[in-house]
Amino acid sequence: MTAPDFWHTLENLSEKQFKDFKWFLKQEDVAEGFSAIPEARLEKADRQDTVDLMVQQHGCPGALQITLSILEKISRNDLKQCLFKTVSSRRKDPKNHNHGPLNCDYGRMKSKLGATKTEIKLMIEKRQKKISEINRAEEISSKSADTHIVFSEQVFTVLQRSFKRLLANLIEAIEEKRQTAKTQAEGLVRELQLEISELTTRGAEVEQLSRDVERPDFLQSCSALNALPPTKDWTGVGVSPPSYGGSVATTVKQLEETLREEKEALVSKAKLERVRQFAKAVTLDPDTANDNLVLSKDGKEVYCGDATRNPPDTPERFNPGRNVLGKQSFSSGRFYYEVRVKGKTSWDVGVVKEAIHRKGAISASPENGFWTICLRKGDKHKAHNVHLSLKHRLEKVAVFVDYEKASVAFYDVDSAELIHSYADCSFTGKLLPFFSPGLHYDGQNIAPLVISPVNHNEYIP
């Protein structure tokens, strides 16, 4: 039995039948006592390659047994019978026995050549894939460099002009790292391409030799070509994108704290600017004002006066607390307003439930429907029982309420910093802005609380 007999049999299979034939070759139970051929070696094998792989792994007798078994499984008993008759006739013809050892040697060598050719193809494919990986890594490295340069430019734009020299040094360092990564990638690609060239040449030589089996020096040539050319193990080789952040830290180390503060300030201002879009027009409701409070005609200012007015003591009016509510109520969505507290030593600002108690002593706590912050004794800021640590004295306070998220946040408008926030608030019904200008003591704390207009061009976006 010779390899051409197998090849002739497979040539008579349709494409689908040949595909099914190779599928059975990959199965461990293809035939009792025979192991499967690896899928990677069969994936792109043509009919000749498939014959070579079968003979290489199982020898001629084993390849025959497997072929007969698979032909039966794919319903090609006609080819099975034809192949069986061919084998039987060869066994009965003594003339064929003289060529048995020669055919076997040639078959084994041809199978080895086929295996070598397949292995070379796989090695080339792996290296081509590695080139793609390296090129992709270099591309990511280059894009990362561009991103860091843009970010650095944005940060330095906010700083003084003297920072430009440092920015130039930073960009130069990043470019050097990018060039280093690119040079490394190009060197690796050149090595891979050289190996591919050598493997391609060897593959062509093997391919040529596999077609010329009649050469007198066939066996000797096969032995010489069977060995693969020396190549590098590329498994762990690659290009790691360099860290450009280190260049930034090194170049501007002496300005690190300044950059951090500037960045935090920009982020804070951007966040505050986003919530300022929910600013609402708020005015004071005189029907709720304590009779010691003095309100401006436009309903935007309030302070505690000396004289006592005599308005009707309605259920809506605070007594004796020096408090007043805003006219506008909110029971959904988000709303924002700002209050100037400059020059004062005592005040309360925030939001409250409409149904809060307005008579007698009042405990301003979230449990009682109050979400406020306050100033006492000129420098002590509090949010209910929480003492607030502020960098400097407040001059303008912002109040932001998100009804659906049940949260209230307070901001220092000048620095855009978050002062305090209440979460998981028990909102029910309407909420109203709350103001308390505090008592005045012999001319102290006489400055009014002022509901300020929102200037949307105040911050850098």
User: Average pLDDT, stretch 106-116?
Assistant: 64
Confidence of residue 458 (pLDDT cuts 50, 70, 90): low
Does residue 285 surpass a pLDDT of 80?
yes
Confidence of residue 60 (pLDDT cuts 50, 70, 90): confident
- The pLDDT tens digits of the residues spanning 177-188 come to 889 889 989 999
User: Average pLDDT, stretch 357-365?
Assistant: 91
Q: Where are the beta strands (DSSP E) in 213-321?
A: 293-295, 301-304
Confidence of residue 53 (pLDDT cuts 50, 70, 90): confident
User: Average pLDDT, stretch 125-134?
Assistant: 89
Residue 235's pLDDT is what? 87
Most confident residue range from 34-43, 123-132, 329-338: 329-338
For the chain, how far is it from start to end, CA to CA, in angstroms?
83
Residue 322's pLDDT is what? 94
Q: Is residue 165 classed as helix, strand or coil in its secondary structure? A: helix
Query: Which range is least confidently modeled, 57-66, 340-349, 414-423?
Result: 57-66
The rounded distance, in Å, linking the Cα atoms of 367 and 252 is: 49
Q: Where are the domains positioned within the chain?
A: 3-92, 286-452
- Please answer whether residues 100 and 116 qualify as being in contact, where contact means their C-beta atoms are separated by less than 8 angstroms: no
- Please answer whether residues 383 and 373 qualify as being in contact, where contact means their C-beta atoms are separated by less than 8 angstroms: yes
The rounded distance, in Å, linking the Cα atoms of 304 and 142 is: 64
- C-alpha distances (whole Å) from 193 to each of 118, 129, 228 are 19, 12, 16
User: Average pLDDT, stretch 11-27?
Assistant: 89
Residue 144's pLDDT is what? 62
Please provide the average confidence, as pLDDT, over all residues in the chain: 83
Does residue 97 surpass a pLDDT of 50?
no
Nearest to 178 by CA among 215, 203, 148, 207: 148
Residue 159's pLDDT is what? 60
At 372, list the tokens. Answer: 């406020």
CA 111 to chain centroid: 49
- The pLDDT tens digits of the residues spanning 291-310 come to 999 999 999 999 998 777 78
The rounded distance, in Å, linking the Cα atoms of 28 and 361 is: 88
Confidence of residue 461 (pLDDT cuts 50, 70, 90): very low
- CATH number at 286-452: 2.60.120.920
**Higher-confidence position of 386 and 239:** 386
Confidence of residue 321 (pLDDT cuts 50, 70, 90): very high
- CATH number at 3-92: 1.10.533.10
Does residue 8 surpass a pLDDT of 80?
yes
The rounded distance, in Å, linking the Cα atoms of 292 and 313 is: 12
User: For residue 101, with 0-12 CB atoms within 10 Å meaning exposed, 13-18 middle and 19 or more buried, which class applies?
Assistant: exposed
Amino acid at the residue 249: A
- The pLDDT tens digits of the residues spanning 241-252 come to 777 666 666 666
At 460, list the tokens. Answer: 């850098």
- Please answer whether residues 25 and 74 qualify as being in contact, where contact means their C-beta atoms are separated by less than 8 angstroms: no
CA 414 to chain centroid: 35
Give the relative orientation of helices 47-73 and 3-11 as an angle to the nearest 10 degrees. 70
Does residue 147 surpass a pLDDT of 70?
no
For the chain, state the CA radius of gyration. 43
Residue 98's pLDDT is what? 44
The rounded distance, in Å, linking the Cα atoms of 329 and 21 is: 80
- The pLDDT tens digits of the residues spanning 186-235 come to 999 999 999 899 889 888 877 777 777 677 777 777 766 666 778 888 88
Nearest to 115 by CA among 165, 65, 42: 42
Does residue 449 surpass a pLDDT of 90?
yes
At 234, list the tokens. Answer: 């590329």
CA 2 to chain centroid: 58
Q: What is the DSSP string of 17-36?
A: HHHHHHHHHTSTTSSTT-PP
Does residue 331 surpass a pLDDT of 70?
yes
Confidence of residue 353 (pLDDT cuts 50, 70, 90): very high
pTM above 0.85, yes or no: no
User: Average pLDDT, stretch 131-158?
Assistant: 72
Does residue 86 surpass a pLDDT of 50?
yes
